[in-house]
Chain A
Amino acid sequence: MRDRGWNDARLHVVTGKGGTGKTTIAAALALALAASGRTVLLTEVEERQGIAQVFDCAPLPYAERRVAVAPDGGDVYALAIDAEAALLDYLEMFYGLRRAGAALTRFGVVDFATTVAPGTRDVLLTGKVTEAVRRRQGEERGRTPRDATRRAPFVYDAVVLDAPPTGRIAQFLNVNTEVAGLARMGPVHHHADRVMEVIRSAQTAVHVVTTLEDMPVQECLDGVEQITDVNIPVGSILVNMRRPRFLNETDQRAAAEGRVDTEALARGLKAAGLEQAEQTAQELVPELLAHAHTVAAEQGLRERLEAAQRPTFDLPLLEGPIDLAGLYHLANVLRTQGAV
């Protein structure tokens, strides 16, 4: 296998500016990773039920459910992590504080820990994700494994996280620093250390989704820089919603400069048997000019992305709402380009 810089990654974090389609790409990446009989967990942390929408299934509970089968037999499981459930899960896992939930909720402790206490929320969310990354077969969730199970295979070959947008991603992943100022010791601090062990290691790759538009490209470049600054490994740049290019190189260059051979166009339309060829040709010119203009602008943005020096993969724009067939198609595109 060729070295992409993240061959060892088992945690794939997918981020991007809002509106670039990161949930769709995260789902396609999970499907691609699950090919050849592997088992992948797809997670979300923003309580938007985005995965359920993408896979067109009922809202996901706080439980790992199988949502899709890869073309040649792999499994994609999904989990919608909410901070409140993760907190109760965590208390039970580490302290055996079962049934404390009601009392905690009544006194506002859950509210406090999941929404107000700074950083705690993110530690709970990333904590649950990294727990799934570390989990091995035959081991009770979260318990320290005995020696016999230590080398057992991982439950999940890979975990994909549909993460918060680029603007928040460095802060979200770098939980250690976020809580360090507050909890200099104690359980949250310790928990954050364990999270960072996974996130800083070669087991993690952060992929940034962008479209070839001005603002998303800028945010993508800023995001790559911020993630690199906090020593978290950046994976690839995934350029989503690539529009097809219709013109050949010569016609593209001319049209980008505002020149379209209207007579040649009209002759072509006539040859195709269309009526009113001249008038239609006139009307099609603005569309061609606008298209060539966009393509030229996209080329410029593509060059700006090269500054990040990360492997870049293209994903086509799919017409209409994303359905399962579309997801499989995108997964296949990722695989054939060697992104996974």
Chain B
Amino acid sequence: MTVQKLHQEAPPLNVDALLDDTQTRIVVCCGSGGVGKTTTAAALALRAAERGRTAVVITVDPARRLAQSLGLDELDNTPRQIDLGPRDSGRGTLHAMMLDMKRTFDEVVRAHADPERAEQILANPFYQSLSTSFSGTQEYMAMEKLGQLRASEEWDLIVVDTPPSRSALDFLDAPNRLGRFLDGRLIRMLGGTGGRSYLRMLGSGFGLITTVINRVIGAQLLSDVRTFVSAFDAVFGGFQDRARHTYELLKAPGTEFLVVAAPESDALREASYFVERLAAEGMPLAGLVLNKTHGHGAAPTPARLSAARSDAAAETLEDLGEHTLAAAALRLHARRMDTQAAEARERSSFVAAHPTTPVVEVPAQPDAVADLTGLRRVGHDLGSGSGAEST
């Protein structure tokens, strides 16, 4: 096959060096849904802790499985310390939390408004919807929480698992969009804080806009928005500034992005978009975690037995109607070789497009990752495992 001939090698991603470097303060894991992002984030934080860092992982995945694999019943909005077993020198600590976007938003409000005004905002129906169902709130609050943890200086490494967005890019855009909206002229106009001259400036357009808003969302919602904005505006000078601040944090030295993908075309296409976007934004990309691969790992493979030879041999046995076990083993091996070839092809296309992006491969785990042992195994594969010598 020509695949191997075209195979171009990506620089290996040295995850352990990344985690051991005390300059690394934030690691953001991003990628499309279903690629194992949450597990990767938890495994990274665990490995970092066991290599001496004071680490915390923020997850957004409400599945209780991660909490259980960390030995907790559930995770909440406050970092909980994870029991890593008997103490051993050189080991750091691990905390984990699950983002509760409404609670985080409420905390922001309470922290910035006097009690009376805070209650007014928290009780507003528009606020209640905004804090639970706006598609960007989760991303915004993930960034808010990240900012808080970073500022607390309690941890020297924060690992962030990003929300499963419509597209991977939402995570970068949504906070800004929410900030822009809350500071925008529409909301000022609706809130009536723009002043009369502003309304005059809008001229005849204004009538059309209010007509449309009334027709689309109804007068009652409009009045909720007005109340919300006037209360909110007095508290937050500039929401957009806040959004910009957290955004800057992502660009600051000490932050590293890891793009997680499975070796199939959809996930790698998303990964490519992400790599390009990070470059465009000037954000530091540490590399790609190619997760759930079948090329390297536990089971050694008689690679010299090609898929074609294996299939041909199986056919011979099937024609004979004998040796069903051997025939099955040969068919199985042939499909495994096909899978490896397909994954190698996907990997090659990515590497060809992004030749300087470091890559580490993590083999598909034989069992669901259900405990610290499972997370350690993933961490091992991420670190010293198959990545560096996967040529």
A and B interact physically? yes
A117 an interface residue at 8 Å Cβ cutoff? yes
Chain A at the B interface: SS class: helix
In the bound complex, CA of A261 to CA of B324 (Å): 12
Identify which of B8-16, B78-86, B97-105, B312-320 touches chain A: B312-320
**Contact partner, B134, options A118, A216, A284, Cβ 8 Å:** A118
Contact B326 A268 (CB under 8 A): yes
Given A18-B33, A19-B33, A183-B217, A272-B314 contact (CB < 8 Å) = yes
Q: Determine the residue in chain A with the shortest Cβ distance to B177.
A: A115
| B184: interface (CB < 8 Å) | yes
The yes or no answer to A264 lying at the interface (CB within 8 A) is: yes
Give the residues from 89 to 138 in chain A that come closer than 8 angstroms, CB to CB, to chain B: 90-91, 95, 97, 100, 103-104, 106-109, 111-113, 115-121
Distance between Cα atoms of A111 and B212 in the complex (Å): 13
* Residues in B whose Cβ lies below 8 Å from that of A106: 205
Query: Once bound together, how far apart are the Cα atoms of A164 and B345, in whole Å?
Result: 29
A280 within 8 A of B: yes
Interface segment among A34-42, A285-293, A324-332: the answer is: A285-293
**Interface contact A118-B133, CB-CB below 8 Å:** yes
B336 to chain A, nearest CB (A): 6
- Tell me whether A104 and B218 are in contact (CB under 8 A): no
Contact A178 B133 (CB under 8 A): yes
Give B71-121 interface residues, CB cut-off 8 Å to A: none
Nearest neighbor of A269 in chain B, beta-carbon distance:
B326
The verdict on A267 contacting chain B, using a C-beta distance below 8 Å, is yes
Number of A positions contacting B (CB below 8 A): 83
Is B224 in contact with A182, judged by CB distance below 8 angstroms?
Answer: yes
**Chain A, 207-222, CB within 8 A of any chain B CB:** 213-216, 218-219
- Which of B209, B305, B338 is A107 in contact with, Cβ under 8 Å? B209
A171 within 8 A of B: yes
Verify A188–B218 contact, CB threshold 8 A.
yes
B332: interface (CB < 8 Å): yes
Asked whether, in the complex, the Cβ of B186 is within 8 Å of the Cβ of A267, the reply is: no
Contact string, B319-355, partner A, CB cutoff 8 A, digits 1/0?
0101111111111110110110010010000000000
Task: Give the Cβ gap from A54 to chain B, nearest Cβ, in Å.
Answer: 10
Tell me the bound Cα distance from A189 to B217 in angstroms.
8
Q: How far is the CA of A278 from the CA of B217 in the complex (A)?
A: 74
Secondary structure at chain B's binding surface: helix, strand, loop or mixed?
helix
For the complex formed, measure the closest distance between the CB of B33 and the CB atoms of chain A, giving whole angstroms: 2
Question: What mask results when residues 288 to 328 of chain A are scored 1 for a CB within 8 Å of chain B, else 0?
Answer: 11110110010000000000000000000001110000000
A182 engages B125 (CB within 8 Å): yes
A-B contact count (CB 8 A): 231
Contact B209 A104 (CB under 8 A): yes
Q: Is the CB of B164 within 8 A of A165?
A: yes
Instruction: Check: A46 CB closer than 8 A to any chain B CB.
Output: yes
Q: Is the CB of A17 closer than 8 A to any CB of chain B?
A: yes
Contact of A46 among B166, B216, B324, B366 (CB under 8 A): B166
Chain B residue contacts of A118, Cβ below 8 A: 126, 129-130, 132-134
Interface presence of B221 (CB below 8 A) = yes
Binds A, one of B144-152, B275-283, B295-303: B295-303
Q: Bound complex: CA of A248 vs CA of B184, how far in Å?
A: 66
B125 proximity list for chain A (CB < 8 A): 181-182
A116 to B183, CA, bound (A): 13
Since A47-B167, A103-B205, A112-B181 are in contact, a sample of 18 more A-B pairs with Cβ atoms closer than 8 Å, ordered by chain A residue number, is A17-B34, A20-B34, A103-B209, A107-B209, A111-B186, A112-B187, A116-B181, A183-B220, A246-B331, A251-B328, A271-B316, A271-B320, A274-B305, A284-B330, A287-B299, A291-B332, A320-B342, A321-B265
6 inter-chain pairs at a CB distance below 8 angstroms, sorted by A residue, are A17-B34, A18-B34, A104-B209, A118-B126, A187-B218, A214-B65
- Residues on B close to A: CB < 8 A? 32-35, 62-63, 65, 125-126, 128-130, 132-136, 164, 166-167, 177-178, 180-181, 184-187, 189, 202, 205, 208-209, 212-221, 224, 262, 264-267, 269, 298-302, 305, 309, 313-314, 316-317, 320, 322-333, 335-336, 338-339, 342, 345, 366-368
